[in-house]
Amino acid sequence: MVREPRDADADEAFQFVLSLHRLLRELRRAAPPDGLPRTQLLVLAKLSRSGPLRIGALADEVGCSQPTATKVVHAMEEAGLVARGTDADDRRVSYVHLTQPGRRRLRAVVRDESEALAERLGELDQDEVELLLKAGAVMRRLVEPEPADVRQISREPQ
C-alpha cells in the first residue's frame, strides 16, 4: 500500500535530491571523466548493464532523441568505445555494443569517482558510513528495475 507523502516527507525528499546533486557534482569535479561527455558516459553505463541495444532503445534509455543518440554513437565508434553489429536473423537491424576500450574507460571513471567518494566517506563516523551503504542498496532498488551486478563493470568479458 502506498501512502500519501506528508509535507515533511516532501521537504526531506527535496533536501535529499539537492544533496545528491551536490555530491555528484563534487565527485565529478574531484574525478573528472577525462573529457568524456556526460551522454557518452551514460551510454557506456547503459550498455555495460544491458548489453547490446538498438539506437532507438539506447536513446530512450539515455534520455535523448534518436538523432542525438546516432551522433553520440558515431563519435563513440570513432573513439573505439562502442561498435555496431547486425542482427543474425535480420541484417537490417543493428545493435550498439560496448568494446573493450569502452569497458576500460567506464571502469576508469567509476574507479576514480569511487575513490573520491571513499575519501569523503573517510570524513564520517563508521555508523554514518554503514547507514549510507545501506541507503545505497535501497537507492539501487529505486533506479534499477532488476538487480544488477555492479561487478560486471570491472570484469573483462569471457
Considering its fold, how many domains does the chain have in total? 1
Is 152 a residue whose pLDDT tops 60? Answer: no
Cβ–Cβ < 8 Å for 116, 30? yes
Give the tens place of pLDDT for each residue, 90-117.
888 889 999 999 999 999 988 988 898 9
Domain containing 21: what range? Answer: 8-154
Whether residue 111 is contained in a domain is answered as: yes
Whether residue 2 is contained in a domain is answered as: no
Whether residue 3 is contained in a domain is answered as: no
Whether residue 36 is contained in a domain is answered as: yes
- Res. 4 pLDDT band, cuts 50 70 90: low
Whether residue 44 is contained in a domain is answered as: yes
Is 156 a residue whose pLDDT tops 50? Answer: no
Report the mean per-residue pLDDT for the chain.
85
Burial of 58 (0-12, 13-18, 19+ CB in 10 A): buried
Whether residue 93 is contained in a domain is answered as: yes
Give the tens place of pLDDT for each residue, 112-148.
888 989 999 999 999 999 999 999 889 888 887 655 4
Q: What per-residue confidence (pLDDT) applies to 86?
A: 86
CA 80 to chain CA centroid, Å, is 19
Per the DSSP assignment, residues forming a β-bridge with 86 are 94
Is pTM, for the whole model, over 0.85? no
Whether residue 68 is contained in a domain is answered as: yes
Whether residue 129 is contained in a domain is answered as: yes
Q: What per-residue confidence (pLDDT) applies to 124?
A: 94
Give the length of the chain: 158
CATH number at residue 27: 1.10.10.10
Question: From the CB of residue 63, how many other CB atoms can be counted at a distance below 10 Å?
Answer: 10
Is 158 a residue whose pLDDT tops 90? Answer: no
